[in-house]
């Protein structure tokens, strides 16, 4: 029986992140993907130019349309930039008793563009965090959530513990932005800390990594993996997608979600084209 996973997130016009990345990930990992669009962004490999939120009423109707027709095995939540949007999503998840919720607290784009309105961070922490089985903040998002500065592995561990106390089941703080040749992520399940190490791949083409990771975790949870197993498997998938990333566009190209199907021809080309 095919597993069904829903993404609740924003749209990326260049196809490398957001809902587009999530749906590609679902397909690559063998689950059926569905979507609720929360915002439409104008962005490319160079950054986010602008975005416009979808109305809470339409978000509510999208959630109802999916859950009233199809059994949902896991939910990934990405860009939710307004308090009223967050409240509508919370109501929907509670109403339909959603399981295996993975929250990617998207607050900033890779280029530094702020993607949340006033009050959204507090609403996300209070409203969605307690419903999530896993939350996946990067360093900057973990700093904002835990209200501490993070510059070392010990800081990451401290932030992970603080965020867990906010009511989420499991926390993965991603350390890819810290200095060094090796990246370390910290995972905490409420009892034990685990550390996931991986080699940093020398490429600028990492557009969509956060979205891809959280949607991969949701996919593996839908397929019945234990939480840590889902996280570790998702990290392996994302690392390979970065290894085979696309050198397209003038900025940070997207990871290759379908590398398993494209073979060596999908590896990043030499960057010399003006338009990619």
Q: List, for residues 148-201, the tens digit of each pLDDT value.
A: 999 999 999 999 999 999 999 999 999 876 766 778 999 999 999 999 988 888
Of 46, 217, 18, 209, residue with least CA distance to 115: 18
pTM confidence score:
0.92
Max CA separation in the chain (angstroms): 52
Tens digits of per-residue pLDDT, 182-191?
Answer: 789 999 999 9
Ordered structural domains, the chain, with CATH: 4-137+206-266 (3.40.1190.20)
Bridge-based pairing state of the strands 182-188 and 193-199: antiparallel
pLDDT of amino acid 158: 96
Residues of the chain with confidence (pLDDT) below 70: 108-118, 177, 179-180, 263-276
Active site residues: 174, 206, 208-211
213 Cβ contact list (under 8 Å, min separation 6): 104, 136, 174, 234, 235, 238
pLDDT of amino acid 255: 93
Q: Residue 18's Cα: distance from chain center in Å?
A: 8
Of 129, 142, 218, residue with least CA distance to 173: 142
Q: Residue 79's Cα: distance from chain center in Å?
A: 9
d(CA 199, CA 41): 31
């Amino acid at each position: 029986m095919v597993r069904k996973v829903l993404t609740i997130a924003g749209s990326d016009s260049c196809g490398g992140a957001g809902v587009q990345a999530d749906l590609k990930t679902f397909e690559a990992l063998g689950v059926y993907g569905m979507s609720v669009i929360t915002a439409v962004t104008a962005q490319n490999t160079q950054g986010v130019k602008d975005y416009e939120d979808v109305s809470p009423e339409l978000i509510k109707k999208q959630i109802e349309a999916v859950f009233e027709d199809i059994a949902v095995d896991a939910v990934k939540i990405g860009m939710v930039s307004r308090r009223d949007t967050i409240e509508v999503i919370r109501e929907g998840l509670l109403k339909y008793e959603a399981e295996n919720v993975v929250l990617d607290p998207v607050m900033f784009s890779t280029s530094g563009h702020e993607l949340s309105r006033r009050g959204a961070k507090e609403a996300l922490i209070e409203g969605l965090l307690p419903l999530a089985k896993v939350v996946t903040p990067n360093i900057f998002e973990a700093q904002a959530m835990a209200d501490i500065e993070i510059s070392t592995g010990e800081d990451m561990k401290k932030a992970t513990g603080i965020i867990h106390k906010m009511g989420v089941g499991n926390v993965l703080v991603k350390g890819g932005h810290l200095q060094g040749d090796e990246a370390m992520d910290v995972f905490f399940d409420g009892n034990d800390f685990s550390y996931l190490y991986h080699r940093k791949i020398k490429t600028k083409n990492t557009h969509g990594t956060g979205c891809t990771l959280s949607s991969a975790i949701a996919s593996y949870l839908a397929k019945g993996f234990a939480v840590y197993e889902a996280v570790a498997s998702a990290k392996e998938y994302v690392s390979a997608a970065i290894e085979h990333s696309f050198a397209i566009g003038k900025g940070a190209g997207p990871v290759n979600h379908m590398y398993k199907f494209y073979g060596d021809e999908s590896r990043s080309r030499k960057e010399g084209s003006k338009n990619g």
